[in-house]
Amino acid sequence: MATVTVEAPVGLTFDEVRRLHAVAIHRLCVLALGHPGAAEAATGLVLNVAAGAYEVDRPPPSTALRWLCGVACDVLGEGPPPRRGRRAPGAVATGWGLDVDAALVRASTLGMRERLAAGLRCAAGLDYAEIGEILGIRADAARAACARAMRRVQPRRRRGR
């Protein structure tokens, strides 16, 4: 009689997923919320929600980041939207420097969908089809949202320089 061995599914534990992708989720939260302190709290919330859902969803390692970004967008979309509008550069001590703070000031004028699209592209490195799938839009709409966001976040050059 032959014995049959059943191997456990190969995959990552949630601690491994957290270790691999927490920085990308934090960057996504910074861009979406515009404030490092709020992003720190949101990142913790995202990771807590994801930890609870991980055993049920069990994404394969190749899609773990995309899955975690989807959880992040769901969590960020459930809360009150971040304030839009202007604040003075330097109002947030980021530790990353005034250039990053100035970019966050410019990002504060974006809508949440553009912030999330830019965050998914820049912080997580997702392609436009993945961004569209997460945000529930077409890939070309995701590309357009990212392009609008990047145009508005990049520093403007003065004439004559």
**Which pLDDT score, from 0 to 100, does residue 5 have?**
43
Rounded CA-CA distance 85/76 in Å is: 18
8 against 49, higher pLDDT: 49
Number of structural domains (the chain) is 1
What does each C-alpha distance from 157 to 25, 45, 122, 154 come to in angstroms? 30, 38, 22, 9
Write out pLDDT tens, residues 116-136: 999 999 989 999 999 999 999
Q: How confident is the model at residue 63 (pLDDT cuts 50, 70, 90)?
A: very high
Rounded CA-CA distance 11/59 in Å is: 8
Q: How confident is the model at residue 6 (pLDDT cuts 50, 70, 90)?
A: very low
Across the range 94-123, mean pLDDT stands at: 83
In a domain, 128, yes or no: yes
What CATH number did the domain enclosing 69 receive?
Answer: 1.20.140.160
